[in-house]
């Protein structure tokens, strides 16, 4: 494990602390980010910088990508100086970005043609779990590849769940984010309904979190609701993207359509860069 050289692409709100945790664990980490200013923090912490994704893969045994959407991930793999622009047989690429199952299967296919091992490993959790190394990691890989990179996942998360081959983990991530959306929408509607009928949001949140309906997300989001402050731990626009991907992957249940429409409307109202819990601000005026 200690001999593995790790490359990291994507130093946003999630990628930066995750890469930093690898450095704290004593691993050799090389980074690439299109916006070079975002590399400075990691370089100060001991990382080195690669000029291109292709150079990064050449220099490392395992490269991890943590990017915002399917298009950004495909660009990093397929561009002129992308990860697969030259032959690097035997290397491992782990995509921890949330993308469609179709995209994950496609990436696995193009990697296989280059004799590169591909692992689909999106995460459940936002910025604080990324900082704490307590993410839930959903893994799509063959058993042999999973065993090689499992020690990396043990640094980044509290648990890694091997759910199948590439693409299956992406489906699991879309499923859990659908449940996240339902929780947030339900929490917001409940608090607003209670307030309209004379129950303070403080009391309603206490009722929720002291009872059987409380859960991790209702507890985590209670302070944001109480303070009416929605700095992004997980930006609302990203949940819109994930719900869209779930629909495109075949989710056609009774609740997905109104849920998706609600979050799309919130994004159109200018709430996309705020936290997902800002859905309550959109609903408040309805």
Summarised one tens digit per residue, pLDDT across range 192-203 is 999 999 999 999
Q: Both tokens of residue 224?
A: 């944001």
| Amino acid 34: pLDDT | 87
- Cβ-contact 140, 170 below 8 angstroms: yes
pLDDT 10s digits, 190-240: 999 999 999 999 999 999 999 999 999 999 999 999 999 999 999 999 999
Helix spans in 94-235 (H): 101-113, 127-132, 143-156, 168-196, 201-210, 216-227
pLDDT above 60 for 65: yes
Catalytic residue, candidates 20, 114, 173, 221: 173
pLDDT tens, position by position, 131-170: 999 999 999 999 999 999 999 999 999 999 999 999 999 9
Residue 16's H or E segment, with its range, is helix 15-24
- For residue 164, what are the β-bridge partners? 140
Average pLDDT for residues 267-281, to the nearest whole number?
A: 98
The better pLDDT of the pair 67, 34 is held by 67
Active site annotation includes 74 = no
Q: Is the pLDDT of residue 77 over 70?
A: yes
Give the CB-side neighbour count of residue 206, counting CA atoms within 13 A: 5
> Tokens 């047989």 sit at which residue?
89
> In angstroms, rounded to a whole number, what is the distance separating the alpha carbons of residues 274 and 219?
18
Count of CB atoms situated within 10 Å of the CB of 11: 26
Q: What is the pLDDT of residue 181?
A: 98
Q: What is the pTM of this model?
A: 0.94
Torsions phi, psi for 129 (to 5 deg): -60, -30
* 106 confidence band (pLDDT: 50, 70, 90): very high
Tokens of 253: 């249940």
Q: Is the pLDDT of residue 264 over 90?
A: yes
Average pLDDT over the chain, rounded to an integer: 96
Average pLDDT over residues 63-68: 96
Q: Give tens-digit pLDDT for 3-59.
A: 799 999 999 999 999 999 999 999 999 999 988 899 999 999 999 999 999 999 999
Question: Is 284's pLDDT higher than 60?
Answer: yes
Q: Domain residue spans in the chain?
A: 5-165, 172-284
Q: Which DSSP letter does residue 278 get?
A: G
pLDDT at 283: 98
Measured between alpha carbons, how far is 161 from 169 in angstroms, rounded to an integer?
9
Tally Cβ neighbours within 10 Å of residue 147.
11
pLDDT of residue 2: 54
Q: Per CATH, which fold does 172-284 belong to?
A: 1.10.1040
Average pLDDT, integer, range 186-191? 98
Query: Which among 125, 7, 2 has a CA at the least distance from the CA of 59?
Result: 7
Task: Tell the CATH topology of 5-165.
Answer: Rossmann fold (3.40.50)
Q: Is the pLDDT reported for residue 1 higher than 70?
A: no
What does the CA dihedral 248, 252, 258, 263 come to, rounded to 10 degrees? -30
């Amino acid at each position: 494990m200690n001999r593995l050289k790790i490359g990291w692409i994507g130093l946003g709100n999630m990628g930066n602390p995750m890469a930093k945790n690898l450095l704290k664990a004593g691993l050799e980490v090389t980074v690439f980010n299109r916006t070079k200013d975002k590399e400075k923090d990691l370089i100060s912490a001991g990382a080195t910088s690669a000029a291109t994704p292709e150079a990064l893969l050449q220099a490392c045994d395992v490269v991890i990508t943590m990017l915002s959407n399917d298009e950004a991930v495909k660009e990093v793999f397929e561009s002129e100086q992308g990860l697969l622009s030259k032959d690097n047989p035997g290397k491992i690429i782990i995509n921890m970005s949330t993308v469609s199952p179709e995209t994950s299967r496609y990436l696995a296919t193009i990697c296989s043609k280059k004799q590169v091992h591909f692992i689909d490993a999106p995460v459940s959790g936002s910025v604080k779990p990324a900082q704490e190394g307590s993410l839930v990691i959903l893994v799509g890989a063959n058993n042999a590849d999973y065993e090689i990179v499992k020690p990396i996942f043990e640094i980044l998360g509290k648990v890694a769940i091997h759910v199948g081959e590439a693409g299956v983990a992406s489906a699991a991530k879309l499923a859990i984010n659908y449940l996240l959306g339902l929780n947030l929408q339900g929490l917001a509607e409940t608090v607003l309904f209670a307030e309209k009928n004379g129950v303070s949001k403080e009391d309603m949140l206490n009722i929720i979190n002291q009872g059987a309906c409380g859960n991790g997300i209702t507890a985590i989001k209670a302070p944001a609701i109480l303070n009416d402050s929605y700095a992004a731990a997980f930006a609302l626009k990203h949940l819109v993207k994930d719900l869209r991907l779930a629909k495109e992957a075949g989710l056609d249940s009774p609740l997905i359509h109104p849920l998706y429409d609600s979050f799309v409307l919130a994004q159109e109202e200018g709430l996309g860069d705020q936290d997902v819990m800002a859905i309550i601000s959109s609903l408040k005026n309805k």
